[in-house]
């Protein structure tokens, strides 16, 4: 079965600090993971399957669906893809095992620095996911698949809880 990605490598390169030298093949599994792990949970199975079907059929998104994908899903997915990619960015798996990549001209960041970057990417993803959820709730009559459920226990109903936390809680 084909799998329709809602963003491309270029979407990530153009909208994040990740550089253009990143191999597309290295990013694709992280895009797919982020799409299944985060976007499916936010939009629910019925809407997710509709978007997947449209991508696989190469049907262009129009109207509310175009707004949904271009302005809300893509930014969310871009940052969650970074969240999935960053921990693996300096590691390559070879037949002999895991190999840590190091540049001859650069210095590898410390674990704390990588964790900081990961948390910033996660915060960005959470911000955009909150915008996505708010838009879906406000436009649920225009995107009816958002509130549909098939009754199958394997289906995921959309998560409508607010997941964004942008500051210190006292």
* CA–CA distance, 110 with 25 (Å, rounded to integer): 26
Residue 100: phi and psi, rounded to 5, are -90, 125
Residue 165: is its pLDDT beyond 90? no
* CA–CA distance, 117 with 166 (Å, rounded to integer): 15
Residue 1: is its pLDDT beyond 50? no
Give the pair of three-digit tokens for residue 143: 């995107």
- Considering only residues 3 and 29, tell me which one the structure prediction assigns the higher pLDDT: 29
Q: What does pTM read for this prediction? A: 0.84
Outline where the chain has alpha helix (H).
9-15, 24-34, 40-56, 63-67, 74-85, 111-138
Average pLDDT estimate for 140-166: 75
pLDDT value of position 50: 95
Average pLDDT estimate for 149-170: 64
pLDDT value of position 167: 54
pLDDT value of position 170: 47
* CA–CA distance, 129 with 136 (Å, rounded to integer): 10
Q: Give SS3 for 70.
A: helix
* CA–CA distance, 133 with 104 (Å, rounded to integer): 44
pLDDT of 58-105, one tens digit each?
Answer: 999 999 999 999 999 999 999 999 999 988 887 666 666 666 666 667
């Amino acid at each position: 079965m084909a799998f329709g990605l809602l963003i491309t490598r270029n979407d990530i390169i153009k909208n994040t600090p990740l550089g253009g030298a990143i191999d597309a093949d290295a990013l694709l599994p992280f895009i797919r993971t982020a799409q299944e792990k985060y976007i499916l949970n936010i939009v629910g199975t019925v809407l997710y399957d509709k978007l997947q079907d449209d991508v696989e059929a190469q049907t262009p998104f129009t109207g509310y669906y175009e707004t949904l994908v271009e302005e809300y899903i893509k930014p969310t997915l871009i940052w969650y893809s970074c969240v999935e990619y960053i921990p693996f960015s300096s590691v390559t798996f070879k037949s002999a095992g895991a190999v840590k990549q190091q540049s001859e001209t650069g210095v590898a960041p410390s674990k704390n620095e990588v964790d900081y970057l990961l948390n910033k990417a996660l915060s960005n993803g959470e911000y955009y996911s909150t915008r996505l959820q708010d838009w879906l709730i406000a436009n649920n009559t225009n995107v009816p698949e958002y509130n549909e459920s098939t009754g199958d226990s394997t289906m995921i109903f959309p998560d409508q809880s607010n997941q964004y936390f942008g500051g210190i809680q006292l």
